Amino acid sequence: AVGKTIAKSNQEQTQHETETQTVELESHETTLKRKRSSEKTAEELLKDEVTEIMDEFTTLGDYYKLVDKIGEGTFSSVYKAIDVRHDYYDNSSWDLSSICKDYERINLEESDSVITLENANENDQATNRKNYSDEPPTQFVALKRIYVTSSPQRITSEIEILHQLNGSECVVPLITAFRQMDQVMVVLPYFPHDDFRTFHRQMTMNDIRCYFRCLLTALKHVHQNRILHRDIKPGNFLYNYRHRTGMLVDFGLAQVCRD
C-alpha cells in the first residue's frame, strides 16, 4: 500500500510538472505572439504616419525618403530620411563626419597627455566603444516636422535661431526648411547618437571630460550669439559615444536676448 501511495505521488508530481511546463510554454508563446503583434502594429502605425506626411507634403518624395521615426516631443516629431538628391549638392557645409573626426582626434590627444590610473583601461574602453554608433553618413538627414499646435512665432524663432547658429561648433546646423500650407518641415543633418542611459554608468573621467567639452563648446557659441537654449538635457544633447562627439539640438524653446 505504501509503495502504491509513493508511486501515485510520483505520478501526480510528474503530471503536475508536465502541466506547469505546458502552461509556461503556452504563456511564452502567447507573449511572443503579442510581441510580434505589437511590433507589427508599430510598423503599421509608422507606415500610416509616413503616408500621411507624404500626402501633406506633396513634393517631399522628390527630395527625401522617410525610413524611420527617431524622436517625438510635445511640439514636433523627427524622422530619419534618405536625401534622394544627395549627389547633386555640395554637402560639405553640414558634413558632420569631419567634425566627428576632428573632435575624436582632439579628445584622444588630450586623453594621451593625461596620466591617470584610468588610462590602463582605455584599450578596453576603446574596444567597447566600437559597439556604439558610427560616424554620420551625409546621405541621411533628419526631418523635423513641427506640429501646427506650435505657434507661428515659435516656429519662426526656432528656424531663425538655427540659421543664426549655422557654423557653430557642436550645434546642429540647419540645411533648409520649407512649409506647405500650415505644415512646416525643418531639414537637419542626421547625427547617429547613443542613448545616454546606455553609456553614462561606464564613462571614465576622460569620457566625461570629452562629453562636457562638446556641450560647453556648444553653449559657448550659443551664448556668444546672445541666445538662451532653455532646455538643456541629455535628450537634447546628442552624443556619439564611439567618436566622443556631441551635438546640441532642439531650439524650440530658445530665446534671443534683446537687452
Domain spans, the chain: 1-47, 92-133+192-256
pLDDT classification of 120: cutoffs 50, 70, 90 = very low
- Give the pLDDT confidence score for residue 40 in this predicted structure: 64
pLDDT tens per residue across span 212-236: 999 999 999 999 999 999 999 999 9
pLDDT at residue 80 is higher than 90: yes
Consecutive H or E run containing 66: strand 64-72
0.85 exceeded by the pTM? no
Task: Please give the pLDDT value at position 54.
Answer: 87
Q: How confident is the model at residue 117 (pLDDT cuts 50, 70, 90)?
A: very low
Tell me the average pLDDT across 192-196. Answer: 94
Q: How much of the chain is helix, strand and coil, in % rounded to 5? A: 55, 20, 25
Q: In terms of CATH architecture, what is 92-133+192-256? A: Orthogonal Bundle (1.10)
- Around 250, how many Cα atoms within 13 Å sit in the side-chain half-sphere? 18
Q: Are 71 and 78 in contact (CB under 8 A)?
A: yes
pLDDT of residue 143: 96
Residue 24 pLDDT greater than 70, yes or no:
no
- Mean pLDDT score, 109-123: 52
| Residue 28 confidence (pLDDT) above 70 | no
8-22, 111-125, 223-237: the lowest-pLDDT one: 111-125
Average pLDDT across the chain, whole number = 80
Share of the chain above pLDDT 70, in %: 66
26-35, 50-59, 144-153, 216-225: range with lowest mean pLDDT: 26-35
Active site residue 87: no
Residue 233 assigned as binding residue: no
Grid coordinates of 218: 556648444
Summarize pLDDT for 134-174 with one digit per residue, the tens.
655 668 999 999 988 888 899 999 999 999 999 888 999 99
Buried b / exposed e along 126-156 (16+ C-beta atoms within 10 A)? eeebeebbebbebebbbbbbbeeeeeeeebe
Please report which residue ranges of the chain form alpha helices under DSSP H: 2-56, 96-113, 122-129, 152-164, 196-199, 205-224
Q: Which of 83, 231, 250, 259 is catalytic?
A: 231
